[in-house]
Amino acid sequence: MHFELLRATPNKWVEMVFKDFDSFLSDHASSEKKASGMALSVAAHYPDKPKIVSAMVDLAVEELSHYRQVIHLILSRGLHPRPDSQDTYVKKLNSAIRRGPDFFLIDRLLIGGIIEKRGSERFSLVAQKFAQTEPTISHFYTTITASEERHYSLFLELALDACGNEAELFDRLKELLELEANLIEELPTRAALH
């Protein structure tokens, strides 16, 4: 299963990350930690859905491994992790989650997939930008890009299983992708994942 984002990340984001990579790294670490927590939360809320529990537990472990890798990268640069900050992008996407048992899980999974897809796109841009100057960083972000691609596909597959109606699911996905594109346009650009 596959979808495309409706708006590409602007070039000014890549330049901002390149100029303030230390801030980006700290935000990246925070994002991986939050992603691990979100996966565990989903698993805890749906103990009666073994496929979701299994997938989310595996995802939580992988995201926590990414967190560890980013923390080691931060420390190897002589830096310290910064406190977590609120992610307005994720908060605004999550505010679109519909309430009620028929919709909540589907929207949560679709939004998780959109966030992972945006992460994949942006990590790929970071890998490309650092290819000539810091090949180790470039390689790390190329690897992370592939993980994010797998994650967004997993979320979409789980959402389809939960929904059961592909046309209905893709109608909702289109609505959420339009919201996400508007957020990319409206939110201030910063040296952060989102």
CA quadruple 35, 36, 39, 43: dihedral, nearest 10: -160
CA atoms within 13 A on the CB side of 26: 15
The DSSP secondary-structure symbol of 123 reads H
Round to whole Å and give the CA distance between 114 and 166: 17
The DSSP secondary-structure symbol of 10 reads P
- The predicted model scores a pTM of 0.96
Determine contact, residues 98/161, Cβ cutoff 8 Å: no
pLDDT tens digit string along 133-191?
Answer: 999 999 999 999 999 999 999 999 999 999 999 999 999 999 999 999 999 999 999 99
Sign, CA dihedral 108-111-115-117, equals positive
pLDDT band at residue 12 using 50, 70 and 90 as cut-offs: very high
pLDDT tens digit string along 28-80?
Answer: 999 999 999 999 999 999 999 999 999 999 999 999 999 999 999 999 999 99
Superfamily holding 13-186? Ferritin, core subunit, four-helix bundle (1.20.1260.10)
| Average pLDDT of span 7-17 | 97
CA quadruple 62, 65, 67, 69: dihedral, nearest 10: -130
Please report the pLDDT score of residue 71 as a whole number. Answer: 98
Determine contact, residues 141/130, Cβ cutoff 8 Å: yes
Please report the pLDDT score of residue 102 as a whole number. Answer: 79
